[in-house]
Amino acid sequence: MCPSNKKPRASVALTQNARVVLERRYLKKDRDGKVVEAPEDMFRRVARTIAEADLKFDPKADVTKTARRFETLLMRLYFLPNSPTLMNAGRRLGQLAACFVLPIEDSMESIFETLKHTAIIHKTGGGTGFSFSRIRPRQDMVLSTAGISSGPISFMTVFDVATETVKQGGTRRGANMGILRVDHPDVEAFITAKNDLKKLNNFNLSVALTRKFMEAVEEEAPFELVNPRTGKTVASVPAKKIFDAIVDSAWRTGEPGVIFIDRINEKNPTPHLGEIEATNPCGEQPLLPYESCTLGSINLTKMVVRGKVRFDRLKKTVHEAVHFLDNVVEVNRYPLCQIEEMSKGTRKIGLGVMGFADMLILLGIPYDSEEAETLAEDVMRFIQAESRKASAALAKERGNFLYYPGSLFDRPETPYMRNATTTTIAPTGTISIIAGASSGIEPLFAVAHKRHVLEGKTLYEIHPLFIRIAKKQGFYSDALVREIVASGSVQHLDKIPEPVKRLFKTSHDISPEWHLRIQAIFQKYTDNAVSKTVNIPQSATRKEVDALYRMAYRLGCKGVTLYRYGSRAKQVLSIGPDKTESAQIAPRPRPERTHGITQRITTGCGKLYVTINSDEAGMCEVFAQMGKTGGCASSQIEAAGRLISLALRSGVKVEAIAKQLIGIRCPSPAWQNSKMVLSCPDAIAQVLKAVTQADLEETDTMLGVCPDCGGVMTHQEGCLVCHSCGFSKCS
């Protein structure tokens, strides 16, 4: 047989975890759930579909050539678009945008019309942002019925319930951003709305702070609250009182975040279309009503070759990515005609980055250093400049965006612009796993950790650059790896050289001030905004949180999300006032870092994921969740976990707890490993009895159990994310 002249099909270099995530979430499956598409096929499908948009502007365009270029871009992992594009391009749904903003006016008709539109968007896998600032305050007059208004928070609850209902329909999770202006009369109730962690779980909340308010805070002056229905002042309160409430709530639970709404509108490229009032669920994309965002990220790790940044490669990648994203705007199947009209009218795209922390390591630069600031400035300034050049070049061929005002905020000299915005730093949780890169502009999540993936599989991951350096410098050992996996950090290990420790700091090893400084540098050269979590230690005081908000405003950020380590977990396990009578048993406080495992066990109701964590005194908490279940089953399982955790931290022996739970029956028992599992409580008891303290040697900050894989949820990029399977609460 003669040898074939046909070239072998190119393959993409993916980590094992990337392949697992792709199979779980992205690749085509048949009716039986069997994967029928390889990662390479997915990239070709996406490249071909997006390239076809060229024909709309030039009937003679060489689509095959464009598709090959896009395919190379994706297969080399230089750039990846947001998840909906990877999932849906070239498939029946065809909805390629990640997030949307919808209007809410002060009428029942508007509120429930928007609710309907929200359900439609969530059904297609999108997230939604709203400003509730136009709704009249609680106890205000309803003229048409002579009744009393229930206020914006009550309507937020309606949206939350609707989101939960759509979610239970088996679709990709919907997420919401709820925003309220700081001068709304209900702002104090809004600030504390999520202090009860059972409420508004499908919402992120942010307060829209005005320049007038920030000045009043600085001067400790009174601040006027205005009824949006009448435009009249209804109260004057100390601005510091409102600011302190924001600080206190963020210190307790990590919410609300804040956005600096006047600063956002100063950079609004289309002010003639109206003011921006809301953002997408993670806060990085301010949008007008009915706009959607088309996002993608450049993998910065691929822009470093032999210890130097390849700006020539970066330039080519930026231009190809802008072409790609503008094509996405064109071929997207929008869920509503209003969204299609606005999205094609402004053609906003958001080109961002991932792998910044890895890039720093490749260049030998610590994250918390002036050298890192300089690199961030050089890279993002270059990306912004080149993305605008690419957009201008497209405009010469295809025309300016429809609502082009003639000049754009800080670039009046630009006669051509295809896209109203070109840059955004968006969350990259799942696509960064696919790319094998660190998330967005965040520091490392951990130097080494476990990933819990589909069907109970566990992958152990150690940062490849750490392995390379450790072996080169001669301090690598299996025992060292076990020590790192136990905590994720290397800062406490004496056997690791200080320069290496400096290079491999994780998000909780970086001071909050440095988190903010890096965010501010990227914001300086980003058209839209920056999605990032500023991690602060559990020991941080409210005064320190106060200072960080002021610092974010002073540095020019458009918004900020703070998360105090362990605050939510502590809040979940709190059952009352801190002070207790001497005769009562007081549970020991939850430490800053715990260690543990997640065990999957089959019950008659489905697969139950049981996470057991320990501190220095032994087992201290239990979390359990059953896949995507909700309603009564979910609440009962959560209640059992809370009570078990409370008992453990109050000194009750594990054996005594298990004895009370073992043998409880439900109508649907199951078998696992030749053993009967009688119920969910019985399953938890079996795990408690089987797990030894030696098993509890590693885990990460426990903010809850991933509903998809049972892994650990952590706070990153302005949202709760799972590093095991890429699940994000905000997508």
Domains in the chain: boundaries: 26-95+292-431, 99-279, 591-713
- Residue 159 and residue 131 in contact, taking contact as beta carbons nearer than 8 Å: no
- 631, 643, 573: which is closest to 606 by C-alpha? 631
3-class secondary structure, 143: coil
Q: Considering the chain, what percentage of its residues have pLDDT values greater than 90?
A: 64
Output the six-digit token pair for 685: 């008891």
- Residue 680 and residue 606 in contact, taking contact as beta carbons nearer than 8 Å: no
HSE-up (13 A, CA, CB side) for residue 319:
14
Structure confidence at residue 8 as a pLDDT band (50, 70, 90): low
CB contact burial 163-199 (16+ within 10 A = b; e otherwise): beebbeeeebbbbbbbbbbbbbbbbbbbbbbbeeeee
HSE-up (13 A, CA, CB side) for residue 207:
30
Output the six-digit token pair for 233: 């002042």
Structure confidence at residue 523 as a pLDDT band (50, 70, 90): very high
The Cα 295–Cα 711 span in angstroms is: 27
Site of tokens 């819990």: 452
* Least confident interval from 365-374, 473-482, 513-522: 473-482
The Cα 260–Cα 239 span in angstroms is: 15
Q: Which amino acid appears at position 498 of this protein?
A: E
The mean predicted confidence, pLDDT, of the chain is: 88
CATH T-level fold of 99-279: Anaerobic Ribonucleotide-triphosphate Reductase Large Chain (3.20.70)
Residues taking part in catalysis: 280, 282, 284
The Cα 391–Cα 414 span in angstroms is: 11
Dihedral over alpha carbons 180, 130, 275, 515 (to 10 degrees): 70
Q: Is the pLDDT score of 572 beyond 50? A: no
Instruction: Return left, alpha or beta for 49; rule: phi > 0 is left, psi -120 to 50 is alpha, else beta.
Output: alpha
The Cα 180–Cα 225 span in angstroms is: 12
State the pairing for strand pair 670-672/675-677: antiparallel
Q: Is the pLDDT score of 614 beyond 50? A: yes
CB contact burial 465-478 (16+ within 10 A = b; e otherwise): bbeebbeeeeeeee
Structure confidence at residue 586 as a pLDDT band (50, 70, 90): low
The Cα 280–Cα 99 span in angstroms is: 6
Regarding pTM above 0.75, the answer is yes
Site of tokens 């609850």: 157
Structure confidence at residue 177 as a pLDDT band (50, 70, 90): very high
Instruction: Return left, alpha or beta for 584; rule: phi > 0 is left, psi -120 to 50 is alpha, else beta.
Output: beta
The pLDDT value given to residue 685: 87
Q: Which of 176-180, 671-675, 720-724 has the highest mean pLDDT?
A: 176-180
Q: Which residue has the higher pLDDT, 332 or 627?
A: 332
- 495, 552, 532, 558: which is closest to 718 by C-alpha? 532
